[in-house]
Amino acid sequence: MRGLQTNRHSSFHHLLLLFLVLLRSDRCFGIVCYHCDSIALPECSQTLGEVGVLPYKECATELTCAMSIVDSITYRGCGAETPIIGATYSKTCSTNLCNAGVYPPGRLKCHHCAGQECVAAPASKPKPCRYHLEEDQCYTDVISSSDAYRGCTSEQNHTLSTSAQLCEINGCNEEQGAWTQVCATCDSAIGRGCKIDLFQVNTGRCNVSLYEECQQDVLLGEQEDKYCFSFRRLSRVVRGCSTKIPTDLEPYVEQLEKCNTSDHCNAGCITQQKCFTCNSVDQELCRTNITAIANSTCSSAEASSCFSCEYSNWSIQRGCGAPPENPQITKCYECDEGAGCNSKDFTRCYQCSTDQAGAGCANWESPGEIYIEECDEPAAPCVVVSFNNATTARGCQKSDFSCASANVASCRLCEGSFCNKGSFPEERLWCHQCRGVQDCEEISRGQTAMPCPARANEPEDQELACLEYFDINSKEIVRGCRSNPELYYECLLRSNHFDSCRTCHSQACNNSPGRELRASYELEAKALSLLQGKSSAISIKFSNAGYGVWLIFSVIYIVTC
Ligand SMILES: *[C@@H]1O[C@H](CO)[C@@H](O)[C@H](O)[C@H]1NC(C)=O
Ligand SMILES: *[C@@H]1O[C@H](CO)[C@@H](O)[C@H](O)[C@H]1NC(C)=O
Ligand SMILES: *[C@@H]1O[C@H](CO)[C@@H](O)[C@H](O)[C@H]1NC(C)=O
Ligand SMILES: *[C@@H]1O[C@H](CO)[C@@H](O)[C@H](O)[C@H]1NC(C)=O
Ligand SMILES: *[C@@H]1O[C@H](CO)[C@@H](O)[C@H](O)[C@H]1NC(C)=O
Ligand SMILES: *[C@@H]1O[C@H](CO)[C@@H](O)[C@H](O)[C@H]1NC(C)=O
Ligand SMILES: *[C@@H]1O[C@H](CO)[C@@H](O)[C@H](O)[C@H]1NC(C)=O
């Protein structure tokens, strides 16, 4: 019990003592501040002011420390002793040694120089920028290989050119301003040895050795535009300096392989080409199943491409390098993208359009006007497409004929020759579409049935229908799709009466015989002529009242029909 009381007592004493000491030290001793100027001690402006580097001093009566810059000279000291008149920056603070640090805080240090000696990487240390700006930057502005400027952007005593390089870390504007780049230069069209080193064939990674050198001056800020390049396309390889690109390569500038890491960095060998090498004359698999044949490394270092050719007798030859010259060859391609690129076959597709071939191109039931198209593009897929206007067309896929073409209603793409066969599109309603007295009178299966066109904004749930009618104006049978609005109106208005426009909903269902469609009209025509015969007989007997009776008969006829 006693011990506890004593302890409480002594804690209170300690607190009191501490309070008195704090009060006393504030009252009786001045604050401690760093004390220097950068004329006598250059570190005064540049160091972070760690203890031991800058001198410090106990101020006599003052309670503040200060830092200032006057005429580019840094001063640190007790509040009142430090000059502030004409200062570009000044600051006071009130804790011990608080006037430490680079002044102002965060002021950037950059290399400063101008002229010819400024082109090389600077040898001296960077200096703080004259002004304090939050967004200050160091610059390196190389005007030519003999004129350059470095400094802080805030100093504004040099107008920056567009190629000036800016950076924001102390001393960062230290890069060399100009250098010479040396590249290998050669062209396989002019001499051997530009593709693969002739002495290191089969060693995998290597550098070519048969080349000349080209040089170009590179200034800091234009590395993007100056590089060594190598170019590879089919049987041609070219290497050189970006300032001397041959004019015939200008269309391919985007495809140049660029490097700038070291001199001759563009001398790397191309990977040796691998091609399928075979002939269908002695190896039928060369045509029928190329995947069953191994592709082999080309024996010649100069063969950087592969080819496939077809002869007029349909035999196929594949191999390394450019295609052979032979008048019996009907078509070839040359390729260089990856191993075994000459595996692609020449494809052939059925080609037709219902605009020319009629229904046969869509329903695949009659052979007229269906052609074979030799695809220009090797291994091109075959396509069968149905457009919104109900035209169905078949052919090789090409830029202006594909499933991505405009107005495509449905489309099928397939791989392999002649795969675009069979009726299409199967999911849409097909109707006989014809007009006239001869072909359209009697329908035999497949004769004229074609997919119906898709109406603009056709509702998804719209039930499609075929229609057929006898046109009382032109006296002909008409068959078609209800989704063709003009035809549907005609069907309603020009058939004998409203139920003479027949519709039905199954595939090619509008195949009623012509005589059935014209039957009701003919019946009525007969009745009419019968009536006409009677009325004229009556009108002879009752010549006076005859006109009125005929009128009554006509009215009755119109009303009852
Ligand atoms: C710009 O001013 C800075 C600081 O005053 C100086 O170090 C530098 O040499 C000057 N640069 C030029 C290009 O005059
Ligand atoms: C090829 O040249 C490059 C650049 O000069 C070099 O880095 C590389 O080691 C060389 N490779 C061989 C296999 O000599
Ligand atoms: C190489 O070029 C890139 C831009 O293409 C550039 O960023 C880089 O600094 C350049 N390197 C050398 C060593 O010039
Ligand atoms: C092609 O050859 C490969 C490998 O021998 C075999 O797996 C494949 O079934 C063949 N394909 C055809 C269509 O014969
Ligand atoms: C096809 O023609 C080529 C060139 O004329 C010939 O080499 C090849 O033997 C012929 N192929 C057949 C199967 O006759
Ligand atoms: C050709 O050979 C290479 C390497 O053996 C292999 O990676 C590639 O798949 C082959 N290509 C074909 C189409 O067989
Ligand atoms: C139908 O559309 C296709 C594609 O837009 C076009 O090529 C064809 O000529 C058109 N046919 C008719 C009859 O308008």
In whole angstroms, how far apart are CA 120 and each of 141, 146, 166, 216? 12, 9, 17, 17
| DSSP conformation letters of 238-264 | EEEEGGG--GGGGGGGGG-EEE-SSTT
- Residue 454: pLDDT above 90? no
Give 172-194 pLDDT, tens digit per residue: 999 999 999 999 999 999 988 89
> According to the model, what pLDDT value does residue 22 have?
43
End-to-end CA distance of the chain: 128
User: What value does the mean pLDDT take over residues 79-85?
Assistant: 88
Residue ranges lining ligand 6, Cβ < 6 Å: 274, 295, 339-340, 343
- Residue 546: pLDDT above 60? no
> According to the model, what pLDDT value does residue 277 have?
95
Collapsing DSSP states into helix, strand and coil, what is residue 419? Answer: coil
Out of 65-74, 98-107, 483-492, pick the least confident: 98-107
> According to the model, what pLDDT value does residue 15 have?
43
Name the residue at shortest CA distance from atom 13 of ligand 3: 261
H or E stretch at 151 = strand 147-152
Collapsing DSSP states into helix, strand and coil, what is residue 413? Answer: strand
Q: How confident is the model at residue 20 (pLDDT cuts 50, 70, 90)?
A: very low
User: What value does the mean pLDDT take over residues 75-103?
Assistant: 85
Name the residue at shortest CA distance from atom 12 of ligand 2: 206
Going from the Cα of 305 to the center of ligand 6, the distance in angstroms, rounded, reads 15
User: What value does the mean pLDDT take over residues 238-265?
Assistant: 94
> According to the model, what pLDDT value does residue 50 have?
57
Give 104-124 pLDDT, tens digit per residue: 666 789 999 999 999 999 999
Name the residue at shortest CA distance from atom 5 of ligand 5: 328
Residue ranges lining ligand 4, Cβ < 6 Å: 289, 291-292
H or E stretch at 465 = none
Do 298 and 321 touch, CB atoms closer than 8 A? Answer: yes
> According to the model, what pLDDT value does residue 448 have?
78
Q: How far apart are alpha carbons 235 and 320 in whole angstroms?
A: 10
Q: Are strands 228-233 and 236-241 parallel, antiparallel or unpaired?
A: antiparallel
> Using the 8-state DSSP alphabet, how is residue 361 labeled?
H
Do 390 and 450 touch, CB atoms closer than 8 A? Answer: yes
Ligand 1, atom nearest to 149 Cα: 13
Q: CA 51 from chain center: how many Å?
A: 59
| Alpha helices (runs of H) in 94-243, residue ranges in sequence order | none
The strand ranges marked E within 10-164 are 32-34, 36-37, 56-58, 65-70, 73-78, 87-93, 109-110, 113-115, 127-128, 138-144, 147-152
Do 398 and 382 touch, CB atoms closer than 8 A? Answer: no
* Residue of 202, 205, 207, 257 to mutate, ligand 2, most atoms within 8 A of C-beta: 207
- The tokens describing 99, both together, are 């006037």
Going from the Cα of 157 to the center of ligand 1, the distance in angstroms, rounded, reads 6
Q: How confident is the model at residue 299 (pLDDT cuts 50, 70, 90)?
A: confident
3-state helix, strand, coil in the chain (%, to 5): 20, 30, 50
Assess whether the previous peptide bond of 485 is cis (omega < 30° from 0): no
Q: How confident is the model at residue 390 (pLDDT cuts 50, 70, 90)?
A: confident
> According to the model, what pLDDT value does residue 456 have?
67
407 lines ligand 7 (CB under 6 A): yes
> Using the 8-state DSSP alphabet, how is residue 390 labeled?
S
> According to the model, what pLDDT value does residue 224 have?
84
Give 459-496 pLDDT, tens digit per residue: 766 788 999 999 989 989 999 999 888 899 999 888 87
> According to the model, what pLDDT value does residue 242 have?
95
| DSSP conformation letters of 515-560 | HHHHHHHHHHHHHHHHHHHHHHHHHHHTTTTHHHHHHHHHHHHHHH
Going from the Cα of 343 to the center of ligand 4, the distance in angstroms, rounded, reads 14
For residues 324 and 224, which has the higher predicted lDDT (pLDDT)? 324
Q: How confident is the model at residue 321 (pLDDT cuts 50, 70, 90)?
A: very high
Whether the full predicted model's pTM is greater than 0.75, yes or no, is no
> According to the model, what pLDDT value does residue 425 have?
81
User: What value does the mean pLDDT take over residues 130-141?
Assistant: 82
Give the residue from 506, 531, 530, 501 showing the smallest Cα distance to 517: 501
Computed on alpha carbons and rounded to an integer, the radius of gyration of the chain in Å comes to 48
- Residue 340: pLDDT above 70? yes
Arithmetic mean of pLDDT over the chain: 83
Ligand 6, atom nearest to 343 Cα: 13
For residues 277 and 534, which has the higher predicted lDDT (pLDDT)? 277
* Residue of 391, 401, 405, 410 to mutate, ligand 7, most atoms within 8 A of C-beta: 391
Do 258 and 345 touch, CB atoms closer than 8 A? Answer: no
> According to the model, what pLDDT value does residue 201 have?
56
Question: What angle (nearest 5°) sits at the alpha carbon of residue 395, between those of residues 336 and 289?
Answer: 50
223 lines ligand 3 (CB under 6 A): yes
Give the residue from 183, 203, 271 showing the smallest Cα distance to 232: 271
- Residue 233: pLDDT above 80? yes
Q: How confident is the model at residue 504 (pLDDT cuts 50, 70, 90)?
A: very high
Q: How far apart are alpha carbons 93 and 70 in whole angstroms?
A: 18
- Residue 103: pLDDT above 70? no
> According to the model, what pLDDT value does residue 206 have?
83
Q: How confident is the model at residue 25 (pLDDT cuts 50, 70, 90)?
A: very low
Out of 7-21, 416-430, 431-445, 487-501, pick the least confident: 7-21
Q: How far apart are alpha carbons 465 and 199 in whole angstroms?
A: 76
Give 343-361 pLDDT, tens digit per residue: 999 999 999 999 998 888 9
* Residue of 290, 295, 337, 341 to mutate, ligand 6, most atoms within 8 A of C-beta: 295
Q: How far apart are alpha carbons 211 and 184 in whole angstroms?
A: 6
Q: How far apart are alpha carbons 522 and 102 in whole angstroms?
A: 112
Most confident of 183-192, 288-297, 428-437, 499-508: 183-192
- Residue 342: pLDDT above 50? yes
